[in-house]
Amino acid sequence: MGLVSQLLYSAITELALESAQCNVTTDPPFSAAQLLIHANEAYQDVWEASGASLYKAAGSTLWTGGGTASLVTDFTLPGGTGTEEIAEFLHVWATTTSASTGGGAGDIELSPVDYAEILALRSSGSGLGTYGTPKVYSVIRRVQAADTDTNRYDLYWWPSVAGYYFPAQAVRQFDPFDGGASDFPDVDDQWSRTLALLLAFKLAPLAGRAELVPAIAAAIDPRHKSALERRNRAQLSARQDR
Amino acid sequence: MATTLAVVRNRVRAQLNELDNRAVSTGLIAIDNAIANTLQVQAARLPAPRLYAASAFNISAGAQTFALPTTIGSVATVEYAGDVRLQLNSDKTFMLKSTREEIEAFRNGDTSTGGSKPTRFSLHEDSSTVVQGECWPRSKDLEAINLYASLDHNDLRDAADMDAATVQFSRYGAISLVLLTAAALVRGMTDADLVLRRLERGVATTWEKMAAMLLYQEEARRHAAEDSGRTQRWVS
């Protein structure tokens, strides 16, 4: 087991194999690669259920073309792997501080609007006043015309004022295990144990031990219930119930 | 105690429970637009703010016409509310306001090109809202004019930077503006919008009454300042 309250990948797979009664080194029923595939399936299920974690990124690193404060064109979130894989933008700021990840003194939180509103303001915004700083933004997913367009987003803002970085706080897309022993899931301690049991739930029938499934399911149920209750308590007290 | 649009906007958003940028349906631009409109509605009930500008413009030598300035200080879109007094800066005499017909009667048949210090003037607004003036007699020398005038409230949307635009209201007027703007926006909300903000439509009536009380007090305050504290009485 890992030394942290949240189980690491090695502990998760060990607990799962133990629960499925197939934690053997001679003729193991699953290769490391197979174990990784099933672990990631179980991880994704748990990750989605556990709720979002907040990812913060500076505008200078988040957007292509966002490294300088002089651009006024639309910024593009780079594609590829790693930190750029955003599922949903929660907050976007305009700031003159390149290292800011949003919410700092002087950072201007922008209001999210439909892309259509940005276009309308650009073409028909006269008479609605002149602003010295960006006020509203829209982030849209770019069509995937090529592999390099994977997970790319375009940021539009209004008015088009120069000199700003656009840090954001967001929910990332699911980031799977890479199979390293010290890899860890982006969930808390309870969910990491649910993850191990769910993995065992998937492995047991594949290892010819389907008779263990009811017992594993019975173990998952209270663990899952307590994890959900903890999440609900946190949400209620943090006024996220709307 | 004039405040800024940014302050009024923040208060409107708080009044609407719309500080959460994730739970916005009205939107910042629409709120600013509503504030600017409501300001003009409320300003229409109030005495116009007054201005004094020394040597605000000149009457040229030999001229019998002039135009009031469209830019005074930082305000580039001046619109006059009607109470205009002109003072010659040279000898500090006030010119008498006359009708256009009176000026024309004085000028009738006069072909002289000379003149002296102008003593009378009349005003009219042309089609581009520039206030044009005529004086009598024709000004002999270039005369710098001190301008005393009442001005309509600025349209906030004409400011160079909306966030810094000045709302020419006292604190009474500013709160009244917040309440009436918020009430107008609440009346335009759908039931879903109201649920999102945990508001009930009836609250708009309360806010409108509060706004009316405050606007009355703002009106009384301005009149009292001009009328040496003449007693105001609330008549509903």
Q: Does B234 fall in a domain?
A: no
CB contact under 8 A, B165 and A133: no
Q: Tell me: do B125 and B217 sit in the same domain.
A: no
B88-95 LR contacts (CB < 8 Å, sep 24+): B88/B117, B88/B118, B88/B143, B88/B144, B88/B145, B88/B146, B89/B54, B89/B55, B89/B143, B89/B144, B89/B145, B89/B146, B90/B117, B90/B141, B90/B143, B90/B144, B91/B117, B92/B146, B93/B117, B93/B119, B95/B119, B95/B120, B95/B121, B95/B135
Per-residue model confidence (pLDDT) at position A4? 58
The DSSP string of A57-84 is E-HHHHSBT-SSS---SPEEE--SSSTT
Q: Tell me: do B19 and B136 sit in the same domain.
A: no
Label residue B61 by pLDDT band (50, 70, 90): very high
Q: Tell me: do B201 and B221 sit in the same domain.
A: yes
CB contact under 8 A, A128 and B161: no
B173 or B112, greater pLDDT:
B173
Q: Tell me: do B68 and B25 sit in the same domain.
A: no
Q: Does B232 fall in a domain?
A: no
Q: Does B236 fall in a domain?
A: no
**Residue range of the domain that includes B144:** 50-151
Partner-chain residue, chosen from A111, A128, A130, that has the shortest CB–CB distance to B33:
A128
Q: Enter the tokens of residue B30.
A: 């629409």
Label residue B91 by pLDDT band (50, 70, 90): very high
Per residue in A165-180, pLDDT (tens digit) is 889 998 888 888 998 8
Label residue A240 by pLDDT band (50, 70, 90): very low
Say if CB B164 and CB B6 are below 8 A apart.
Answer: yes
The DSSP string of A117-165 is HHHHHHHH-TTS---SS--EEEEEEPP-SSGGGTT-EEEEEES--SS-B
Per-residue model confidence (pLDDT) at position A62? 81
Q: Does A113 touch chain B (CB under 8 A)?
A: yes
Per-residue model confidence (pLDDT) at position B143? 95
Phi, psi of B4 (to 5 degrees): -110, 160
CB contact under 8 A, A242 and B36: no
B234 or A213, greater pLDDT:
A213
**Over 60: is that where the pLDDT of B105 sits?**
yes
Per-residue model confidence (pLDDT) at position A65? 60
Q: Tell me: do B77 and B23 sit in the same domain.
A: no
Domain end among B101, B127, B151: B151
Q: Tell me: do B163 and B220 sit in the same domain.
A: yes
Phi, psi of B26 (to 5 degrees): -75, -50
Mean pLDDT of B197-206: 93
Q: Does B56 fall in a domain?
A: yes
Q: Does B195 fall in a domain?
A: yes
**Best of B22, B162, B166 to mutate (most A CBs within 10 Å, chain A):** B162
Nearest residue in chain A measured CA to CA from B31: A128
Per-residue model confidence (pLDDT) at position A234? 67
Q: Enter the tokens of residue A169.
A: 């706080």
Q: Does B218 fall in a domain?
A: yes
Domain end among B89, B120, B151: B151
Say if CB A71 and CB A65 are below 8 A apart.
Answer: yes
Most confident residue range from B118-122, B169-173, B189-193: B118-122
Mean pLDDT of A79-84: 51
Nearest residue in chain A measured CA to CA from B18: A111
Query: What's the CA gap between B80 and B82, in Å, rounded?
Result: 6
Mean pLDDT of B20-42: 88
First to last CA, chain B: 28
Place of tokens 């500090």: B92
**Over 60: is that where the pLDDT of A19 sits?**
yes
For residue A173, the number of C-alpha atoms closer than 13 Å in the C-beta half-sphere is: 13
How many structural domains compose chain B?
Answer: 2
Per-residue model confidence (pLDDT) at position B55? 94
Q: Is B61 helix (H, G, I), strand (E, B) or coil?
A: coil
Task: Please name the residues between 134 and 163 in chain A that touch chain B, using a CB distance below 8 Å.
Answer: 135-136
CA-based nearest distance A91→chain B, Å: 8
Mean pLDDT of B197-201: 90
Residue-level length of chain A: 242
Q: Tell me: do B197 and B219 sit in the same domain.
A: yes
Mean pLDDT of chain B: 89
ipTM of this predicted complex? 0.78
Q: Tell me: do B139 and B178 sit in the same domain.
A: no
Q: Does B233 fall in a domain?
A: no
Q: Tell me: do B171 and B145 sit in the same domain.
A: no
Q: Tell me: do B140 and B80 sit in the same domain.
A: yes
Label residue B236 by pLDDT band (50, 70, 90): low
Nearest residue in chain B measured CA to CA from A241: B196
CB contact under 8 A, B29 and A90: no
Q: Tell me: do B69 and B138 sit in the same domain.
A: yes
Per-residue model confidence (pLDDT) at position B1? 66
Say if CB A97 and CB A107 are below 8 A apart.
Answer: yes
Query: What's the CA gap between A55 and A52, in Å, rounded?
Result: 9
Nearest residue in chain A measured CA to CA from B27: A111
Q: Tell me: do B90 and B119 sit in the same domain.
A: yes
Per-residue model confidence (pLDDT) at position B111? 77
Domain end among B97, B124, B151: B151
**Over 70: is that where the pLDDT of B100 sits?**
yes
Partner-chain residue, chosen from A91, A121, A127, that has the shortest CB–CB distance to B21:
A91
Per residue in A153-164, pLDDT (tens digit) is 888 888 888 888
